[in-house]
Each structure stands twice: as C-alpha cells, then as structure tokens.
C-alpha cells in the first residue's frame, strides 16, 4: 500500500573519476533522480509515488491534517482528501493507528487485531492488523483496491473511537535530491571562507570520535573511503516490491540499487539509474580522512550506522518510524536490540503534507532518549511548512546554500527552517555541487567512485556531522542545547535568501569552540523575523517587528542583532534597533563613501537598560535617491 512520499535533493552523479553518471529526470522528491508521480507496481498492484514527477518540478502537495474524532453521521465530511491518500491522487492502502495510553489496544496485539476486525465489520471494508511499530502504534492493512471513500470510512471509524489518539495514512517517502552530472581541494563546502562551513577549525577540538550517526536512507554500498567508519545497521524495508533484494526486513542494510525502468513508478515517470544516495550522505558525514585518498568527512572520527528505508520508488512512513525508534535505542518488535545506538539521526528524505502524529511521536521519543534528529527541509523551492519531516517539531530542519552562500534555487525555506548548510548548485557548474562517496553502477553495485550531488539531502549531513563533532566534544549536551548552540553561533548568510533560511549559515569551528568551552557562545535564545520588507528609495523608514516573550528582567549588555539586507550602495542606509519603550539604538549611519552592496552582519548592543520582553523593531531608512533594496530577515539573540 502506498505511504506518504518523502524526497531528497540530490543531483544525479557525475563521477569525479572519468565517467560521469547520467543525469536523471528532474529530481525526485528529494530523491536522487526520481520524480514523484504516483505509481503502480504491476507485480504487486501496490501504488507507489513516482519519483520523477516530484523532482525538479518542485511540487507543492496538499497539507495533510489530522482530523479529530467526529460523530458517525458526519464522518465522510470530517476526513479531508489528503488524509485518505498515500500520495496525491493515490488512496492509502495502510493506516497507522495510535491508541491512547491506557487503551488495551495500545499494548495488546490481540486487542488491536480485534479492534481492526470490529472496524471492518462496521465499515464493510477490509481492515487487518499487521504489526506493532516501534512507537507502539498499530499498522493496519486495507484492501489494495480501496477507494478514497473506502479509506475515509475506515479513518472516520477510528477517529470516532475515544481510545484512538490518531490515525494517519502510511505515506511513501523518497530520498531528497535533485539529479545532476558530474578530493579535499574540491570540497569547498568544508573550508572556503565565502560559503564553506568552516569545518577545519573544529577538527583541533573534535573529530566526532565516540559518536554513532544513523543514516536513515537507501542503505550502504561498499566503499573503501567509508568502510572503516561503518558499524552495524539494519534493513527496515518490509515491502519486497520496494526492497528489491529478495526479502523483507533483515540485518543487512546493503544498498542493491534503487534503479527503475520507465513506467515502473508511474505512467509518466522515465527510467532512472541507481542513486546510491545513502552512501553519498554517509560520506559527507564520516568519510575516512587523512588516509591519502578521496574525500574528507565532517566528523571523520564518528561511525555510521546505515538504516535502509528507501528502495525502488521510495519508502514508507511505517518503516521510517521504526528506523527512528530503533536508531535511538527504542524497541521494535521482531528486530534485535540495537548495539550501535545513535546520538544523531540524519534523514535526507521527505514528502508532502503535514508532519503526521505517527512520525512526530517517533521523533519525540527519539529526542527524549537523547538523540538529535536532523532532517532535510526539501527541494521544492517552497515553504517547508508544506513538507514532512522538515516541518516536524523537535528536529533541526536544514536548508541548502550554494557556493556563494545564497539559498540554493531548489531549497525550501520558511520560519520552520532552523539552519542553512552547503547543499551545492550544480546548474552553475558541476564543481559547485557537493563531492562525496558513490558507486559507478547504473543499476547494481559496480566500482566505487566519487560524484557531485546537490540538494538539501547534501546540506543535512553537514549539520549531522557538526552535531557529531559537538556531542564528541561535550557528551552531556542535550538535543535542545545542540540546536541552540548551532543557531547562536551561525553567521549571516553571505548571499540572499528570500522567505527564511533559519539562523544563518552554520559555523562548525565557532560552534564546537562554544560547546567545548574555548570560544563561541552556547547561549541564548534567538528570536527571528523572516518577513521580507521592501526599503523604498529615498523614502520613509520601514520597521520590522519581533515579539520577545518568556524572558525575565532586562536585555543583555551584549544583545546580538543579526541583519540581512539586500541593497545596492549600502551607504544610503541608516539602521536603528528600537526597544519596546521606543528608545532607539543606532546600528549603522549613512555614508556617501560606502558604495558596497548589501548589509549582512551582526551588531552588538548594550541593551541592559531595556526590559527584555515586548516588541522590538528594526528600523531601516534609505536617505538618498537612486537605490532601493529589501530587509530579508533579522534576529535578536539574548
């Protein structure tokens, strides 16, 4: 049955060794070379979302919402269409049901099975309990030929049950990547001053030693530049039509390839070569370093636990949920205990719609166990609010930047983005992508290689690697402290971002220094405004507000004000910070000799005489004629 679809932004590889990998159809929903139109797998009749359609087309899917229990008389009207679909236009064939604490069905498989039978009797539909997920939720199967109305009837029946906390479709997910063509000197994303993540400066303090990172993705294909850092993982794909390795779940997370022929994933989806997406992601995090070959990993002292959830045409929520649970030390029925519990999870995958209660529950449990969850914001050039798991709570949602430090054209954006990291932009040159470990096989594994990819799938492992560096330097850090330190020590984006790219571009050196007590800042709560405001030429001042709450006493004597303004001839601008009581603090005066463009910097203000809570404003005025611009975003860090 189809589950909701997730995608990744990856470029189809072009080998760094002589032979480049072919360029696939526009990126699949965050999948390397896949689109995401709905697809039907002929052999099984199961509908899968096709990767090709979702790719570069940057689809905006209907946001799914969790309907509340309704009276039987109005059930159909209470179930939005998106709640009945595994993907846009494809009725769900499985549901994930979460029972309230205390309900017999929450712990007893027999009770859940009996409840499914009761729901089947009430609706006249096929409803069959399949298994218990790691979060405790029940996976129930519907008829392969169920219509949207049939699914709605079953969902409404569950929603009307006072013992049910939530019921959501089992959606199909895909790797997040934008297909494209193709050693340390080529890894601009790590060291270049303009838009690199300043990773070398962190290596004197930490290499990630002692930290396991779970890469929930397509699995791992053998590569000598990664092998030393690979520990045991698991293959969580339960549907053999997706796994294409001849079996279901097992302890072998090897990636057999996720290629497909034209039409396999949908009538309009062209053929695609294997992406080896999980191996590319893993290389960015922990490729072996100082070994005289290949590329360097951000946290090359860390270990990678590959968890396979994505296969042919994508992967299901139910498998991803169990992978999140197991990776963080939770128990999953039928799966041996995890001997390599991860303190960091990387999910370079995604799909359309709201973050479901089922997925959020798994994430919350992982975070409560002390695991930091890092996810891709997505590659649809759309608000991340429309794409899961980038819109989930308790995650670090990552947007992608290009080699000049601006938001990559494909990257999602919005107030739910937490941070930005290099994701590359191969449309401006293959070498402007992210180089990492890969395989030259177009279908099944062949010789190892390296290739450039682009996407939020590539940005995300940069942050997962940074988290590993932080956790190694200071094992006591909680997920919340990790997220706060990354944001507090970020620098303003060197380039433009319209719509919101989080706290800025992650700075690995400053962040690791902060958590190890040798510099930077662990502190502070950051408040952000991402609403762009036009600055009129030679006109009246504009003001952008930020509402601050939850603080006690006065503002600090070193209040940080980070400003991102696009404006030709910045000498025209006068910038003030206005406190809640109306007091103004001059940040920048006009200057007829300052002809440079843009203002992207952080000012420090002694605001210790001001009450912290209230509405703060950034006031910007262009006092000369002939140039105009935009206040893109600004932040206050207390």
| Tokens matching residue 518 | 């040798």
Beta bridge partners of 212: 303
Q: What is the mean pLDDT of the chain?
A: 84
What is the predicted pLDDT for the residue at 204?
84
Band (pLDDT 50/70/90 cuts) for residue 173 is confident
Q: How far apart are CA 393 and CA 168, in angstroms?
A: 17
Taking alpha carbons only, the member of 312, 275, 306 closest to residue 438 is 275
Band (pLDDT 50/70/90 cuts) for residue 576 is very high
**Fold for domain 524-637?**
Jelly Rolls (2.60.120)
Give the tens place of pLDDT for each residue, 28-63.
Answer: 333 333 322 222 223 333 223 222 222 222 222 222
What is the predicted pLDDT for the residue at 308?
98
Taking alpha carbons only, the member of 68, 67, 61, 119 closest to residue 90 is 61
Q: Is 457 a catalytic residue?
A: yes
Q: In this predicted model, which residue has the larger pLDDT, 524 or 504?
A: 504
State the catalytic residue, choosing from 12, 277, 280, 387: 277
**Cα–Cα separations (whole angstroms), residue 242 to 204, 349, 611:** 43, 16, 57
Q: Is 462 a catalytic residue?
A: no
Burial 27-51 (b: 16+ CB within 10 A, else e): bbbbbbbbbbbbbbbeeeebbbbbb
State the catalytic residue, choosing from 141, 181, 217, 598: 217
Q: How far apart are CA 579 and CA 136, in angstroms?
A: 49
Q: Is the pLDDT of residue 73 over 70?
A: no
What is the predicted pLDDT for the residue at 15?
34
Band (pLDDT 50/70/90 cuts) for residue 564 is confident
Taking alpha carbons only, the member of 213, 190, 433 closest to residue 305 is 213
Taking the alpha carbons of 44, 47, 53, 55 in that order, is the dihedral positive or negative? negative
φ, ψ of residue 43 in degrees (nearest 5): -65, -30
Give the tens place of pLDDT for each residue, 119-151.
Answer: 999 999 999 999 999 999 999 999 988 998 999
- Sequence-ordered list of residues with C-beta below 8 angstroms from that of 619, at least 6 positions apart, any chain: 541, 542, 543, 575, 576, 577, 578, 584
State the catalytic residue, choosing from 348, 457, 472, 516: 457
Band (pLDDT 50/70/90 cuts) for residue 528 is confident
332-346, 395-409, 413-427, 552-566: range with lowest mean pLDDT: 552-566
Mean pLDDT to the nearest integer, 494-503: 93
Count of residues making up the chain: 638
Give the tens place of pLDDT for each residue, 110-122.
Answer: 999 999 999 999 9
**Are the CB atoms for 471 and 477 separated by under 8 Å?**
yes
Q: Is the pLDDT of residue 18 over 50?
A: no
What is the predicted pLDDT for the residue at 329?
97
Q: Is 427 a catalytic residue?
A: no
With pLDDT > 70 as the criterion, what percentage of the chain qualifies?
A: 84
Mean pLDDT to the nearest integer, 8-28: 33
Mean pLDDT to the nearest integer, 158-180: 79
Domain spans in the chain, listed from the N-terminal domain onward = 38-172, 524-637
Mean pLDDT to the nearest integer, 400-417: 96
Band (pLDDT 50/70/90 cuts) for residue 602 is confident
Q: How far apart are CA 364 and CA 314, in angstroms?
A: 24
């Amino acid at each position: 049955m189809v589950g909701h679809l997730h995608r990744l932004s990856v470029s189809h590889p072009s080998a760094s060794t002589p032979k480049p990998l072919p360029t696939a159809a526009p990126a699949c929903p965050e999948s390397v070379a896949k689109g995401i139109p709905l697809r039907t797998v002929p052999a099984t009749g199961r509908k899968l979302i096709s990767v090709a359609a979702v790719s570069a087309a940057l689809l905006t899917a209907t946001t799914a919402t969790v309907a509340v229990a309704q009276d039987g008389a109005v059930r159909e009207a209470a179930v939005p269409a998106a709640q009945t679909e595994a993907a846009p236009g494809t009725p769900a064939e499985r549901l994930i049901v979460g029972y309230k604490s205390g309900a017999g069905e929450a712990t007893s498989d027999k009770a859940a099975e009996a409840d499914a039978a009761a729901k089947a009797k009430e609706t006249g539909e096929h409803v069959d309990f399949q298994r218990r997920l790691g979060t405790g939720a029940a996976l129930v199967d519907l008829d392969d030929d169920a219509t949207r109305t049939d699914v709605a009837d079953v969902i409404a029946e569950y929603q009307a049950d006072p013992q049910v906390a939530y019921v959501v479709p089992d959606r199909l997910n895909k790797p997040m990547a934008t297909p494209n063509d193709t050693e340390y000197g080529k890894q601009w994303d790590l060291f270049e001053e303009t838009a690199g993540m300043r990773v070398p400066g962190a290596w004197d303090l930490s290499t990630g030693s002692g930290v396991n990172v779970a890469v929930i993705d397509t699995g791992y294909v053998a590569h000598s530049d990664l092998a030393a850092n690979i520990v045991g993982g698991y293959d969580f794909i339960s549907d053999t039509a997706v796994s294409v390795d001849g079996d279901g779940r097992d302890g072998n997370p090897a990636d057999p390839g996720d290629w497909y022929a034209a039409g396999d994933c949908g009538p309009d989806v062209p053929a695609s070569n294997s992406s080896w997406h999980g191996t590319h992601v893993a290389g960015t995090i922990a490729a072996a370093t100082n070994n005289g070959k290949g590329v360097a990993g951000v946290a090359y002292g860390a270990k990678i636990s590959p968890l396979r959830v994505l296969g042919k045409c994508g992967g299901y929520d139910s498998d991803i949920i169990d992978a999140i649970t197991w990776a963080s030390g939770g128990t999953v029925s039928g799966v041996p205990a995890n001997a390599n519990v991860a303190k960091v999870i990387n999910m370079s995958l995604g799909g359309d719609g709201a973050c479901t209660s089922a997925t959020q529950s798994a994430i919350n449990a992982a975070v409560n166990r002390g695991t930091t969850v890092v996810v891709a914001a997505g590659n649809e050039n759309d608000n991340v609010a429309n794409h899961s798991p980038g819109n989930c709570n308790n995650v670090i949602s990552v947007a992608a930047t290009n080699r000049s430090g601006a938001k990559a054209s494909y990257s999602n954006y919005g107030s739910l983005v937490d941070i930005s990291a290099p994701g590359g932009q191969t449309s401006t040159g293959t070498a402007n992508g992210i180089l990492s470990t890969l395989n030259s096989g177009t279908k099944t594994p062949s010789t190892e290689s390296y290739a450039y990819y682009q996407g939020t799938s590539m940005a995300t492992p940069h942050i997962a690697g940074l988290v590993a560096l932080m956790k190694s330097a200071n094992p006591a850090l909680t997920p919340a402290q990790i997220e706060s330190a990354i944001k507090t020590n970020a620098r303003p984006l060197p380039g433009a971002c319209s719509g919101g790219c989080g706290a800025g571009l992650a700075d690995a050196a400053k962040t690791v220094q902060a958590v190890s007590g040798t510099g930077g800042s662990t502190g502070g709560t950051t408040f952000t405004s991402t609403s762009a405001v036009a600055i009129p030429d030679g006109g009246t001042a504009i003001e952008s507000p930020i509402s601050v709450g939850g603080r006690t006493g006065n503002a600090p004597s070193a209040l940080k004000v980070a400003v991102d303004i696009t404006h030709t001839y910045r000498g025209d601008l006068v910038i003030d910070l206005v406190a809640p009581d109306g007091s103004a603090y001059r940040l920048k005066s006009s200057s007829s000799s300052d002809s440079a463009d843009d203002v992207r910097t952080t000012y420090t203000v002694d605001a210790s005489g001001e009450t912290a809570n209230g509405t703060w404003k950034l006031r910007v005025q262009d006092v000369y004629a002939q140039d105009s611009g935009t206040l893109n975003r600004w932040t206050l860090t207390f």
